[in-house]
């Protein structure tokens, strides 16, 4: 590609709204261009990097046997109505009507439609396991679109879904995805961590996030020297055995007037965090708050409550989210008649949505996540509360929010916790049978019996990855792409106006292209000085810069490594070898 023809204007100044390096540099170097908040156009350079990220992802998805499909972004309401997400998504979803007045939406994620597609075409256990993926544009009306393409309102996601007949199958599919993700993030060059994430009430046990370690990240995670790693939203601060859950009913029997009720807890939270100074921003929808209650006899009990503004979840949906056989009947009167009866139910943290609603009504936490304990707390914005009745709040209404602090012992005893920030690059989820149940995806098993399929869902932020790579791949002069992601392999600069230099540069350009390299050739003549060309080359960030200048009379060009700054004179005859 010749710079003289390329659709590109580099900018000398940072865009006024840019807070983070990737945003600054991707705009200045001409990779993306803003259209509206959280909505960006991809320019030729940016599209090339995006395509390379996509290629890595496709290769790794194909390597685990996942097959590519593509759904529309424009979707009808009904399936989302059935799953409950039409309302769950709240203001995060872009809604519109077609000319006939039908409700439509722009898909924020596609669990429902993949479920329905498989239901449409498959009917037997022999068809499974199955894994499908797409690389597709998603829409979320984020409360705070931020940092250019790092958090867009339109963005590109790779989402995949696995379909299995049983739990062992789901485990295997999840594991295969996890390994593919490890390879993807290695190839993207990230310093990343895999952290335990909130799995909420999805009926599955495992949910993990891949976070690129970065100070500009919006997620906070903890890790210990012994290998514990969790999103701070998912930190368990009390060891499981410390909670004598089975004793809890006895504790209920000895209610004292001080024993907190859910209502008082909600009130306390309301008071503690008045709208104006909550540790999350207006417009955010809160996720669940998990709370540990300590009863007067010292026993502890996990509970979870929704916070003000949340909707309550009806019994029907609740049953769909946990194994029905194990759920105690959902009866509001239990709750009303026994002010101290707090049966824990982990709020949903509905898949892939920040619009997850907390759940005020509570069922047995053992059923929800396969263990008999729930600890920690979770509100949007990574603020952690772990409340213990009698210590953290009292009958007179004081609540102390206890944050997880650096140096705290890890819940599994694996050493002191370190806190750091990360960018969520990927999220893998054992969904279980939630969507299959809600939408009726069943197949015949070996015995001719209808069984509900179990699913996983797995996301990677594809457009976000371009920005997240730029977050680490830059210096004060500009971008510094790793070779596998760079828009070009070589940036060739003709440094000078005289005929000999230009002719030689043309020759080098042809030769490098002939050798199969992708070359960006700065052939601009006239007003563009060599200084400007060098500055642009540094800003654009192609890993190898070849300068054809005065040395050409001796048959020598300069090869510069963009990342180290190291310059070497190379004989023309050796050039292809030197830059390949």
- Work out how close the CB of 524 gets to ligand ATP at its nearest, in angstroms, rounded to a whole number: 34
| Span interacting with ligand ATP, options 151-159, 277-285, 401-409, 497-505, rule CB under 6 A | 151-159
Q: Please, are residues 290 and 387 in contact by the beta-carbon 8 Å criterion?
A: no
Instruction: State the nearest-atom distance from the C-beta of 154 to ligand ATP, in Å.
Output: 8
Query: Partners of 318 in the beta sheet?
Result: none
Structure token pair of residue 443: 């197949």
- Give the HSE-up count for residue 285: Cα atoms under 13 Å, Cβ half-sphere: 23
Q: Which of 157, 289, 493, 494 binds ligand ATP (CB under 6 A)?
A: 157
Applying CB under 5 A, the residues found at the interface with Mg ion are: 354, 424, 427
Question: Of the listed pieces 147-155, 393-401, 515-523, 547-555, which binds ligand ATP according to CB under 6 A?
Answer: 147-155
Interaction of residue 142 with ligand ATP, rule CB under 6 A: yes
Tell me how far apart the alpha carbons of residues 248 and 244 are, in angstroms, rounded to a whole number. 7
Question: What's the distance, CA 392 to chain centroid?
Answer: 32
Is residue 461 a contact residue for ligand ATP (CB under 6 A)? yes
Residue 114 beta carbon to ligand ATP: minimum distance, rounded to whole angstroms: 14
* Number of helices and strands in the chain (H, E): 16, 25
Q: Which is nearer to ligand ATP, 176 or 468 (CB)?
A: 468
Place of tokens 């007037």: 257
Cα–Cα distances (Å) from 116 to 94, 119, 321, 453, in that order, read: 21, 5, 18, 12
Residue closer to ligand ATP (CB basis): 347 or 352: 352
User: Given the complex with ligand ATP, which of 425 and 579 has the nearer CB atom?
Assistant: 425
Q: How many residues bind ligand ATP (CB under 6 A)?
A: 17
Alpha carbons 348 and 367: distance in angstroms, whole number: 13
Q: Site for ligand ATP (CB under 6 A): which residue of 66, 109, 134, 356?
A: 109
Measured CA to CA in angstroms, residue 431 lies from 151, 174, 199, 343, 458 at distances of: 24, 10, 9, 23, 10
Among the residue ranges 57-65, 110-118, 425-433, 544-552, the one whose residues contact ligand ATP (CB under 6 A): 425-433
Strand order in 103-106's β-sheet? 74-76, 103-106, 94-97
Q: Any idea what the Cα angle at residue 60 is, between residues 436 and 227, rounded to 5°? A: 85
Choose between 233 and 437: whose C-beta lies nearer to Mg ion: 233
Give yes or no for a contact between 485 and 53, defined as CB atoms under 8 angstroms apart: yes
Question: Which of 23, 48, 85, 151 lies at the binding interface for ligand ATP (CB under 6 A)?
Answer: 151
- Nearer of residues 137 and 175 to ligand ATP, judged by Cβ: 137
- Nearer Cβ to ligand ATP (154/164): 154
Nearer to ligand ATP, 349 or 557 (CB): 349
| Nearer Cβ to Mg ion (358/496) | 358
For Mg ion, which is the closer residue by CB, 111 or 354? Answer: 354
Taking Cα atoms as reference points, which of 384, 112, 110 lies closest to residue 237? 384
Query: Please, which residue, 159 or 354, has the CB nearer to Mg ion?
Result: 354
459 in contact with ligand ATP (CB under 6 A) = yes
Q: Return the residue of 295, 464, 474, 491 that touches ligand ATP, per CB under 6 A.
A: 464
Binding status of residue 496 toward ligand ATP by CB under 6 A: no
Is residue 155 a contact point for ligand ATP (CB under 6 A)? yes
140, 177, 343, 524: residue in contact with ligand ATP (rule CB under 6 A): 140
Candidates 148-156, 181-189, 249-257, 401-409 — which segment interacts with ligand ATP by CB under 6 A?
A: 148-156
C-beta closer to Mg ion: residue 354 or 522: 354
Which residue lies nearest Mg ion, judged by its C-beta? 427
CB 84 within 8 Å of CB 93? no
Minimum distance, C-beta of residue 573 to ligand ATP, in the bound complex (Å): 46
354 binds ligand ATP (CB under 6 A): yes
Three-state secondary-structure class, residue 441: coil
DSSP 3-state assignment of 429?
A: strand
Please identify the residue of the shown chain whose CB is closest to the bound ligand ATP. 461
Interacting stretch for ligand ATP, rule CB under 6 A, among 18-26, 262-270, 340-348, 421-429? 421-429
- Decide if residue 427 touches ligand ATP (CB under 6 A): yes
CB 22 to ligand ATP: min, Å: 12
Q: Which of 358, 422, 426, 432 binds ligand ATP (CB under 6 A)?
A: 426
Closest among 332, 342, 373, 406 to 238, alpha carbons compared: 373
Q: Least Å distance between CB 151 and Mg ion?
A: 8
Instruction: State the binding partner of 356 from ligand ATP, Mg ion, none, CB within 5 to 8 A by kind.
Output: none
Closest among 237, 244, 215 to 472, alpha carbons compared:
215
Question: Backbone dihedral region of 118: left (phi > 0), alpha (psi from -120 to 50 degrees) or beta?
Answer: alpha
Closest CA to 160 of 111, 108, 89: 111
321 CB contacts (<8 Å, ≥6 apart)?
Answer: 201, 202, 203, 348, 368, 434
Contacting range for ligand ATP; rule: CB under 6 A; set: 392-400, 411-419, 424-432, 514-522: 424-432
Stretch that binds ligand ATP, among 40-48, 326-334, 366-374, 418-426 (CB under 6 A): 418-426
In sequence order, what are the beta bridge partners of 547? Answer: 493, 558
Q: What angle do CA 310, 313, 317 make, to 5 degrees?
A: 145
Residue 425, binding choice from Mg ion, ligand ATP, none, Cβ under 5 to 8 Å by partner class: ligand ATP
Q: Which of residues 300-339 bind ligand ATP (CB under 6 A)?
A: none
The nearest distance, CB 333 to Mg ion, in angstroms, is: 36
Q: Does 425 participate in binding ligand ATP (rule CB under 6 A)? A: yes
By the 10 Å C-beta count (0-12 exposed, 13-18 middle, 19+ buried), 201 is classed as buried
DSSP assignments along 232-273, one per residue: GGG---S-GGG--GGGHHHHHHT--TTS--HHHHHHHHHHHS
Q: Which does 426 bind (CB under 5 to 8 A by kind): ligand ATP, Mg ion, none?
A: ligand ATP
Point out which residues pair with 459 in neighbouring strands.
159, 427
Q: How many CB atoms are closer than 10 A to CB 160?
A: 28
* Residues that bind ligand ATP in the complex, under the rule CB under 6 A: 109, 140, 142, 151-152, 155, 157, 352, 354, 424-427, 459, 461, 463-464
């Amino acid at each position: 590609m010749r710079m003289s023809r390329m659709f590109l204007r580099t900018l000398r100044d940072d865009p006024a709204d840019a807070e983070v390096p990737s945003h600054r540099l991707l705009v200045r170097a001409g990779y993306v261009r803003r259209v509206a908040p959280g909505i960006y156009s991809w320019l030729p350079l940016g599209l090339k990097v995006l395509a390379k990220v996509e290629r890595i992802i496709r290769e790794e998805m194909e390597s685990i046997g996942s097959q590519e499909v593509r759904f529309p972004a424009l979707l009808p309401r009904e399936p989302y109505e059935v799953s409950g997400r039409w309302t769950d998504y709240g203001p995060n979803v872009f809604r519109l009507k077609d000319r006939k007045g039908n409700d439509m939406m722009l898909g924020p994620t596609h669990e429902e439609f993949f479920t329905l597609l498989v239901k449409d075409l498959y009917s037997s256990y022999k068809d499974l396991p199955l894994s499908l993926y797409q690389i597709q544009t998603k829409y979320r009306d984020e409360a705070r679109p931020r940092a250019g393409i790092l958090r867009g309102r339109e963005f590109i996601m790779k989402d995949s879904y696995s379909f299995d007949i049983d739990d062992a199958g789901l485990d295997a599919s999840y594991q295969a995805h996890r390994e593919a993700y490890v390879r993807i993030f290695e190839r993207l060059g990230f310093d990343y961590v895999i952290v335990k994430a909130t799995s909420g009430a999805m009926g599955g046990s495992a949910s993990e996030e891949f976070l690129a370690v970065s100070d500009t990240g919006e997620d906070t995670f903890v890790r210990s020297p012994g290998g514990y790693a969790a999103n701070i939203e998912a930190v368990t601060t009390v060891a499981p055995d410390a909670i004598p859950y089975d004793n809890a009913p006895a504790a209920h029997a000895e209610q004292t007037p001080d024993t907190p009720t859910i209502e008082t807890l909600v009130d306390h939270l309301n008071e503690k965090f008045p709208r104006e100074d909550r540790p999350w921003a207006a417009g955010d929808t809160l996720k669940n708050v998990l709370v540990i209650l300590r009863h007067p006899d010292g026993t502890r009990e996990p509970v979870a409550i929704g916070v003000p503004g949340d909707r309550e979840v009806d019994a029907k949906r609740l049953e769909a989210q946990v194994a029905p056989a194990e759920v105690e009947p959902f009866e509001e009167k239990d709750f009303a008649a026994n002010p101290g009866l707090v049966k824990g139910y982990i709020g949903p943290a509905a898949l892939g949505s920040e619009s997850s609603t907390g759940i005020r009504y509570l069922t047995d936490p053992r059923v929800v996540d396969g263990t008999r304990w729930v600890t920690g707390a979770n509100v949007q914005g990574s603020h952690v509360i772990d409340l213990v009745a009698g210590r953290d709040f009292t009958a007179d209404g004081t609540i102390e929010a206890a944050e997880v602090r650096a140096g705290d012992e890890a819940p599994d005893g694996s050493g002191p916790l370190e806190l750091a920030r990360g960018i969520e690059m990927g999220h893998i989820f054992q969904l279980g049978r939630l969507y299959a149940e809600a939408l009726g995806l069943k197949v015949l098993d070996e015995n001719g019996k209808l069984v509900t399929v179990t699913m996983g869902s797995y996301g990677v932020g594809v457009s976000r990855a371009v920005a997240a790579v730029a977050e680490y791949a830059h210096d004060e002069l500009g971008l510094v792409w790793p070779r596998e992601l760079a828009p070009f392999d070589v940036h060739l600069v003709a440094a000078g106006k005289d005929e000999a230099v230009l002719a030689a540069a043309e020759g080098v350009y042809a030769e490098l292209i002939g050798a199969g390299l992708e070359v960006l050739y700065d052939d601009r003549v006239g007003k563009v000085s060599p200084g400007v060309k060098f500055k642009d080359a540094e800003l654009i960030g192609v890993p190898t810069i070849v300068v054809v200048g005065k040395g050409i009379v001796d048959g020598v060009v300069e090869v510069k490594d963009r990342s180290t700054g190291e310059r070497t004179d190379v004989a023309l005859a050796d050039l292809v070898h030197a830059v390949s």
